[in-house]
Amino acid sequence: MGKKMTYYDSIAQQYKKSKQLPFRLHIEAYTYFHLVGNLVGKSLLDLACGEGFYTRQFKLQGAARVIGVEISEKMIELARQEEAREPQDIEYILGDVLELDKIDSFDLVVASYLLNYAQTREQLLKMCQSIFVNLRPGGRFVTINNNDSQPPQSYLTTEKYGFIKSTDSPLIEGTPIQYTCTIPGSDQKFRFNNYYLSAATYEWAFQSVGFKEVRWQKPIVSPQGVEEFGQEFWQDFLNCVPIVGIECLK
């Protein structure tokens, strides 16, 4: 797979810093690991692995073999720097999931915030095919994704968590949804786009490639997050969830 300039090359450092926002740890990661389950001895393919934030944690949690695939050269450079600093035997591959063939049959394929980069149903289908072909029978796909079913009227309610979404036009298939994120401990902001595709289109793509079961998981707050910030603090997030977990069984 050839090298491509991608938008994440320009925001790689900022995105990495945004992983320190409390909602990342107490909701995003907590929900993600809840779905991923016990990793001991498992093989795992992390698609759109970014700078390896989760990839490293999967290995630390006991996965036997972990491979990360990422389209942004800058993001994967950060992941490889971390691997060189503290080797964990993780392989990072520069590549586009839209052009990905079979690497192996994995117990798990995971991908946080990949599918929301599909701009058309055809691209979503292609991503799902790349996922499906890399899973063993009985294997699972787990993802955290933009929640396309969140009503735009509630987009500003997440400001206190360090990000908001916005859109210039009504949500139809392919509409860009802009995320504006604050870097923790600063006034600096950075932006990136996701793309709207309906939940029905997601269901169609999962079923078309052959997944037997699909389960949507509402985000959950960690007990530590409740203890530290109080239940009330998280209520706006939980009332109109901006992100969602999905689990598919092959």
Ligand X SMILES: C[S@@+](CC[C@H](N)C(=O)[O-])C[C@H]1O[C@@H](n2cnc3c(N)ncnc32)[C@H](O)[C@@H]1O
Measured from the CB atom, the residue of 17 and 136 that comes closer to ligand X is: 17
Token pair belonging to 210: 């052959």
C-alpha pair distances (Å), 248 with each of 53, 211, 220 = 22, 6, 19
Stretch of 34-42, 64-72, 78-86, 152-160 lying at the interface with ligand X (CB under 6 A): 64-72
Sheet holding 43-47, edge to edge: 91-94, 65-70, 43-47, 106-112, 135-146, 243-249, 213-217
Type and span of the H or E element at 37: none
C-alpha pair distances (Å), 22 with each of 175, 213, 236, 238 = 28, 32, 14, 14
Which parts of 7-46 interact with ligand X (CB under 6 A)?
Answer: 8
Q: Which of 117, 132, 141, 237 binds ligand X (CB under 6 A)?
A: 117
Measured from the CB atom, the residue of 68 and 225 that comes closer to ligand X is: 68
Token pair belonging to 58: 């999967």
6 counts as binding ligand X under rule CB under 6 A: yes
- How many amino acids of this chain bind ligand X (CB under 6 A)? 19
237 counts as binding ligand X under rule CB under 6 A: no
Q: Which of 53, 132, 141, 234 binds ligand X (CB under 6 A)?
A: 53
Q: How far apart are the first and last CA of the chain?
A: 26
Ranked by CB distance to ligand X, the top (closest) residue is: 50
Strand bridging mode 65-70 / 91-94: parallel
Stretch of 94-102, 145-153, 182-190, 211-219 lying at the interface with ligand X (CB under 6 A): 94-102
Query: Torsions phi, psi of 156, nearest 5?
Result: -80, -10
Q: Which of 48, 79, 115, 243 binds ligand X (CB under 6 A)?
A: 48
Q: Which of 43, 112, 147, 175 binds ligand X (CB under 6 A)?
A: 112
Question: Is there a contact between 80 and 55 (Cβ–Cβ < 8 Å)?
Answer: no
72 counts as binding ligand X under rule CB under 6 A: yes
Stretch of 33-41, 96-104, 196-204, 237-245 lying at the interface with ligand X (CB under 6 A): 96-104
* Proportion of the chain in helix, strand, coil states, percent, rounded to 5: 40, 25, 35
Which residues of the chain form contacts with ligand X (CB under 6 A)?
6, 8, 48-50, 53-54, 69-72, 75, 96-98, 112-114, 117
